[in-house]
Structure 1
């Protein structure tokens, strides 16, 4: 795969900014701090740095693994014992950096280390010619060595321009075959380790959507939603970002008409804990460059 200097530099710029903002944002996760304040302050950091969000900041508590973000007027606060996943995506001219870390407000250090160790082990194996199934084998082994389960139905993913979930798919469990890595590929590896079942399911609550079809809408609330969605060029947005009232009616209508795709919150079994670690990288001639490290 070819990647010219302009594209390469955009990926690197996005990665450097994502690293900086993630560290600052994760530092706001403290016992007693309001979730909504933390999310909005972190998202504002991105625009202050001259970049754009690739997706709403994901902040997922305890058994939740992904697709959670602050609701409008969210009253949740971080509490002692929480295990908090902070997942940030930034893009520069459509070229994306996706990175995540887990903040431990309890006694979950070994679980946090399990996903982090799996990520580092997988990164160490990335090079042209490696098959993605081999990375899944490495991730699963590293997590199980720490005494936990990998989340089997969440994966890493390719990052194309304005596309968060392109090829290749990077499994978190052992599998045969897969995509052969090539120089110039950009993707995120994101191991999830859990004390639960090792499989996430969808919750009823949805805060994140993306536009998947370009068709007109009649409802004023639906029109306002599309005014928020269209400039995203298919990248996800938050319900919280849409101004005005009756947003729920507009969202339901647009989903029903196949114009929006919802992303329900994903979680393991109640009472379990999930950790996450994630970096974005570009495959190089002899290995990879991690843009978000």
Structure 2
């Protein structure tokens, strides 16, 4: 990786870390979800960077992929556990980072995912396998009395691409990808009081263009024109003109032009915490690009 690329990753990481922590301070009982999501996304754009994916803001047993809808009337309540997961892109170089905001009673669960992240980062260097990182994450979370979410993973990052190889599991596996110098990766442990697996809700607010095909429907064409500048990075339904948006999205999904990301949840009544950093593998370890401090 060239010096200028590393500098872009580092600058994206600085913006992401600042924004994530400023955003976390906005999450308080009674506050509007829509107001907080719009506010955090605006903070990213004010820096001149791009939003790499819509701000993920997921409640309680929901682990990932929720965000505000247009006209969202939800508010935060005491006792909620909120995951904030944000992405910043500078010339396509992405910083992906997350934390959990505890609105009451979840200290140990929040600490579990954060400690698992630290333990995995301490192992990162060329030659280490993704399976070893997963084993460290699993041991840390289970040692604290919780379960890792087995079917969510960390991932590689590439220009304008949020999820590339290697996959970084949150449980121990034999082998897995071998880390190499110059890789950009996001490690994101999830700890849960629930089943340790997530499944899809009916709710989908985040989409991504995965193919280029001709479309006839004018409202579908409008969406494709609007998202062209995203270069394949995910977008939110909330960012689109709302007239005929459901018809347009369903047409594009059926045609294989778009992929939807349903909200992922563990069992009702459970709580999930998340922590995430982006890092670049170096000759003797790694640089954490999204470190706050």
TM-score of the superposed pair, with normalisation by structure 2: 0.98
1:109 to 82, 107, 110: 107
Count the aligned residue pairs: 291
Q: Determine the C-alpha separation between the residues in 2 that align with 1:160 and 1:182.
A: 14
Match of 2:208, SS state, is strand
Give the structure 1 partner of residue 57 of structure 2.
59
1:94 to 92, 95, 111: 92
Give the structure 1 partner of residue 210 of structure 2.
212
Give the structure 2 partner of residue 249 of structure 1.
247
Give the structure 2 partner of residue 16 of structure 1.
14
Match of 2:7, SS state, is helix
> Contact 1:122 / 1:138 at 8 angstroms: preserved in 2?
yes
Match of 2:151, SS state, is coil
Match of 2:44, SS state, is helix
Give the structure 1 partner of residue 4 of structure 2.
6
> Contact 1:228 / 1:241 at 8 angstroms: preserved in 2?
no
Q: Determine the C-alpha separation between the residues in 2 that align with 1:126 and 1:185.
A: 11
> Contact 1:210 / 1:229 at 8 angstroms: preserved in 2?
no
Q: Determine the C-alpha separation between the residues in 2 that align with 1:68 and 1:225.
A: 20
1:187 equivalenced with 2:157 (yes/no): no
Q: Determine the C-alpha separation between the residues in 1 that align with 2:274 and 2:114.
A: 7
Match of 2:197, SS state, is coil
> Contact 1:224 / 1:242 at 8 angstroms: preserved in 2?
no
Write the deviation string for residues 55-81 of structure 1: whole angstroms up to 9, x where unpaired. Answer: 000000000000000011000000011
Q: Determine the C-alpha separation between the residues in 2 that align with 1:224 and 1:264.
A: 23
Give the structure 1 partner of residue 32 of structure 2.
34
Q: Determine the C-alpha separation between the residues in 2 that align with 1:221 and 1:83.
A: 37
Give the structure 2 partner of residue 170 of structure 1.
168
Q: Determine the C-alpha separation between the residues in 1 that align with 2:162 and 2:188.
A: 13
Give the structure 1 partner of residue 257 of structure 2.
259
Q: Determine the C-alpha separation between the residues in 1 that align with 2:242 and 2:285.
A: 49
Give the structure 2 partner of residue 269 of structure 1.
267
Q: Determine the C-alpha separation between the residues in 2 that align with 1:96 and 1:176.
A: 29
Q: Determine the C-alpha separation between the residues in 1 that align with 2:53 and 2:167.
A: 19
Q: Determine the C-alpha separation between the residues in 1 that align with 2:254 and 2:36.
A: 32
* Cα root mean square deviation, aligned: 0.6
Write the deviation string for residues 79-120 of structure 1: whole angstroms up to 9, x where unpaired. Answer: 011000000000000010000000000100000000000000
Q: Determine the C-alpha separation between the residues in 2 that align with 1:182 and 1:197.
A: 33
Give the structure 1 partner of residue 75 of structure 2.
77
Write the deviation string for residues 158-214 of structure 1: whole angstroms up to 9, x where unpaired. Answer: 000111111111000010001111110001000000000000000111000000111
Give the structure 1 partner of residue 220 of structure 2.
222
Q: Determine the C-alpha separation between the residues in 1 that align with 2:223 and 2:203.
A: 18
Q: Determine the C-alpha separation between the residues in 1 that align with 2:159 and 2:48.
A: 18
TM-score of the superposed pair, with normalisation by structure 1: 0.98
For structure 2, the 5+ residue unaligned runs are: none
Give the structure 2 partner of residue 124 of structure 1.
122
Give the structure 2 partner of residue 46 of structure 1.
44
Q: Determine the C-alpha separation between the residues in 2 that align with 1:224 and 1:34.
A: 29
Match of 2:53, SS state, is coil
